[in-house]
Structure formats: structure tokens, C-alpha cells
Structure 1
Amino acid sequence: MPIYKRGKKYWIDVSAPNGERIRRSTGTEDKLKAQEYHDKVKHELWQQERLDKQPERFFEEIVILALRDAEYQACFNNKQIYARYFLSIFKGRKISSITSEEIANSLPTHKGKTKSKLSNATQNRYRAFIMRAFSLAYKMGWISKNHHVTRLSEPKVRVRWIERDQARLLINNLSITWMKGFASLALLTGARKGEIFSLTWRNVDINRRIAVITAENAKSGKARAVPLNDEAISILRSLPKEGEFVFSSNGKCRKQISRTDFDRALKKSGINDFRFHDLRHTWASWHVQNGTPLMVLKEMGGWETLEMVNKYAHLSGEHLAKYSGFVTFLTQEEKSISQKQHLTLLTG
């Protein structure tokens, strides 16, 4: 029986051209509307079989694609927040019916109950999630063309770093012992706060002089080995082994730094406009100033793209210095005379 009643609603029972049997509710108590739904399903099944037409996909399906794609990323919890937000807007919609304009207009502008305005950077993260979902749908052949939503402009990347004497003063002014070790490792390895908190003794190899940031704890979702210098090894050896994690509290992983101790140390050291994450910027800045190639720094710091590391390039002009003499008015002979004259002036 192609149409039958179950409870108050009508259901359909149809056979697809490939032999698959489909039973589902029409969602209506009106037999005429149920018949129309039955005919529509039969027609779509015929198109899929005879015309090789893709079945209609719903927004929930591409959200699943995007979440599976981000499953092992450190920011997965944020991706779930983005997913819930967009489901509240597009749930139940066929993806072919959603336009680029709708996506652009759906980006959140304010945060929850507080109604505080979201920054362009935060809106761009929401944008990146939904655009990734539609991009995956396009690659799967679920839609015939991809969407375009312009990325919002963001302020220039902030790079705040401190000199070595300031860093030593900051560490010395921290009053909590474990905070001294934690901040020191951030400066010496460039590891992110969350990566250091999640570091276990099992993943620290003193003999090989490396600490392994596992994939599930790395922001990029990719494991990497962090080299340890003499100072970092000395700090690790001085830490008590009270549990599985390098920085434990009563045998459990610590979750947060002491902001009170950090802020107090900053004030005592006379350092302004400085966040804990700026210790990572400081580590990267010191490397660039000492001549570490940007590609090497990218691997050491666990950045996904070279573009993310280029913000430190301006801190060292040494790679450009060798080209400074390529354009000149002087001949080689005149250059030699000029150098001798300059030497005479310096030596008297």
C-alpha cells in the first residue's frame, strides 16, 4: 500500500528503482497532501536513477561534514559552538536553497545575552566554519557551485615582545614557584599556554632533549616535537613529579595560570600592555633576531602557514643587508679608496 495511516499521520511506502524500500511519514493528516508528497518522492527517485541527479541535501548534513573535518583539532569545542549557532538559523533547509547573501547576513554581530559586539576576527571564525561546510559539500558534489562571502577586515596583527633583561625581571618577580617554571618554559620553547598545561611527563624526553606536543593538544591538530635547550631541561628537572602532567595540582592537570601573580609581576617589572601569550611572541621575536629562518620557526612553533610567521620578519634586517651594496654610484676602485679614507678617519 503506497499510502497508509499510522496514528493520525499518513505514511508512504515506495520502492526506489534500485529496489530500496522507503517508508516515511508525510507529516500531514490530509490524504490529498500525502498523495502529493508520495508523487514528489517517486519523481525524485526516478530523477536520481534515470538522470543521475543528486538527492537534495539538508543543512544538518553539511554541519556533520564540517564537524568531522574538525574533530581532532584543538579548537573543536569552538567549532561545536559555531555549528549550534548556524543550526539555529538554517536547520531543515535544503543546502541548494541557501544563498551567499543569506550566509553573509547570518554572521553573528553580538554575543548572547550580554549583547556585547563581536569583533571582526570572531565573526570571521564563524564565517570560516560555515564556508568550510559548504566547501566540503561542493567537493562531495552535493552542490553545483561554491559560495563566496567576503572576509571582514581585521586590525593589523599585534606583535608585542620584551627584551631579555625584561623577561628575566618578569620571571624573578613571579612569586609562585610553578608560575616561574611555567612562564620560563613558555619563553624558552614558544609553546602555547594550553600546550604546556597538557604536557605529560610521558611526552618529555630529557635524553633526546625534546617535548612532544600531541596532535589532540596542538592548535593545528598536528603533533610536533619541541626542542629543549639547557635552561628548559634544567627547569623540567627542578619540577616535582606529582602526577601525570608536568604542571599538576593534587595529581590533576592545571587549567589556568595565576593571573593575579602574572599581573603583579608585570606591574613590579614596569612592563605594560603585555599578555601571557606575548611570551610566545617574545620567543619568536628573539629567534628571528638571532637569524632563525622563518620556515624553521614555522615548524618549531607549530604554525600552519608561513603567512602566520611573516609578522615577525620585520624584526631582522640581516637577510637584506648583503644586498645593500648592489646599487651604488662608485666603481670597485672608488669603493676601495673610500674604505681606506674611512679607515683613516676612524684611526686618526
Structure 2
Amino acid sequence: MRSLKNQVTLLVMGIIALVTMIVILVFYLQARPILLMNTETEAKRDIAAAEAIIDLKHPGPWHTRGGILYKGQAEVNNNYFLVDYIKELTGASCSIYLNNVCVSTTEIDGDCYIRAVDQSVPKEVRSKVLEAGQIYLGQAEVEGRVSQAAYKPIINDDGQVIGVLYIGTRSSLYNSIIYGSMKTIGIAGLILAVLIALITRYFVDRKLVKSKPLREVDAEIWRSPKQELVHNSIKDNDFDMLDTLLDWQQELPKGLNPLTLKEILLFLLENDGDEVTVKDVSKSMSLSTVTVRRYLDYMEECGLVDVEQEYGSVGRPLKLYKLKG
């Protein structure tokens, strides 16, 4: 079973870890729409720039002839110079499709290290762009990678959709920002959890020391360096006697203090083998003789001391106290 301070430490670390996870989740939910909006804005800008570059380099309408896509008089099929030029200026990947099949692209087939032509338009794009003739902005899977993309229909002079122009945005910058921020928050939360847990453990230790039962505190005091020589001379069975007395603390008569009782017992242990009087104890410990007599009488009742009486010529007999052997 874990100690109280370990339980409190783990509880504090758990709470801070939970709060950190909530902060990260809230940050992600708040930042993700901003990320998507920025990448969509960039995709719109890049696809507009791509169209302008194509019109500038190859004026004229889009059309097909013999299963080949043309822009003006320029053949687009396998025209990698055109798509590479667009990527160089915009930084975005570019692909051109004839109907549903890619005929020119900057994408590389990872298995063959050649241009990934003959690929189909992603299924999530097909109905909106090829069939409805609308622009698609959103995430799409291209060559096994999901990226923020823009797909715009290629329309000929007759208003027919004959292909698709694709731009894949550079979302890595935004991803690095958002995920980098989440990582930073997580690390900061971990460091904060450790620091607060250590501080909490320190204060819990102090609190536990302050709230220790009197018998535990006194035991530590008794074993201080000042008493080292005394304790070195005390036998093990004497400590057994002391432990027995400690167990009786809760049964002390009214008006008796456990600490004072143990101090008197220590005095008797220091004088092991010698008989002492009430005045001896009173003088050594700066206590009244009445007080000392009450404690010694109690110890006599508990069977901890032997008492002998020494008779003088006049007056009451003098009591001599000695620890039982």
C-alpha cells in the first residue's frame, strides 16, 4: 500500500497530466479549423496561379484530340515541364487529368521512381468535379498520402468537363506549427507536473512531520546526537522497557505527560544501578518534588521501578527508586 505522500504526489501529477491533455485537446480543436482555412486559402491561390501560368505559356482553349489533352496548340500529356514549372513557382504539387486519368504530374511513383501518371482522380473528388463541374477544396488521398488539395474542372469551349487540374498545398508548415505547439504544451505540462509534484511532496513531508504523534517525535529527539553517548550505554532490554511504556501512553492518569514520563525514565536509565531520590530527579530535571513523586509513584504501580525505604533518626522514611533489573 502506498504511503500518503506518494498517493498525494501521484494524485497531483495525475491532475496536472489530465489538465495538460485537456489543454492540448482544446488547442487542437481550436487550431485545426484555422489550419484548414489557411490551407484552403493557399490552395485557392495556388490553383489560380497555376491557371494563370498555363494560360500564359499556352494560350488557347482546352480540347482533346485522339485521346490526348491539349491546351491551345500544346500537348499536355506527359508535358512534365509545365507541371514542374508550376511547382517551382507555387511550391505546390500539380497534376493534370484527362477525364478521370492523370496525364501529367509532379508526383513520383514511390515504387518505380517515375511519374505517377495513369492514376485516377480520388473517389471523393470525382462526383463533385467531373460530374457536377465544381471546385473541390479539402483533403484528398494522392499516392497514399492525405493532403489539403484543390481540384478544378477543365472545361472546353463547348462547356463540357474534359479533365481536372489538381494542386496539392504545402500543409507541412501549418502541421509543424500546430503539432509543434501541441508537443511544446505537452512537454511544458510534464515539467510542470514534476515540479509541482516535488513541491507538493516537500510540503506533505513537512505537514506529516508536524502532525506526527508525540511518541514518534519524542523518539527522534531522544536519538539526537546530544544523547548519543547516553543511548550507547543503554541496553537493548532497556529500550524494550521504553517501548512498553510508550504503548501505555494513552492510559496515563490525568495530569501526567508522556514526554515528562519518558524524561524521568531516561534519567533513571542514565543512573542504571544507582538508587535515586525524588529530590535527585527534581534537581536534575527542574521539576517540583510533588510532580516527580506523582510520576515515580505511577512507575512503581506499573512495576517499572523498585522502591526501598531508608529510615532516619527522625521524620518520614526516605524513598529510594531504582529501575527493575
TM-score category (smaller protein): under 0.3
> More strand per residue: 1 or 2?
2
Query: Normalising by structure 2, what TM-score?
Result: 0.18
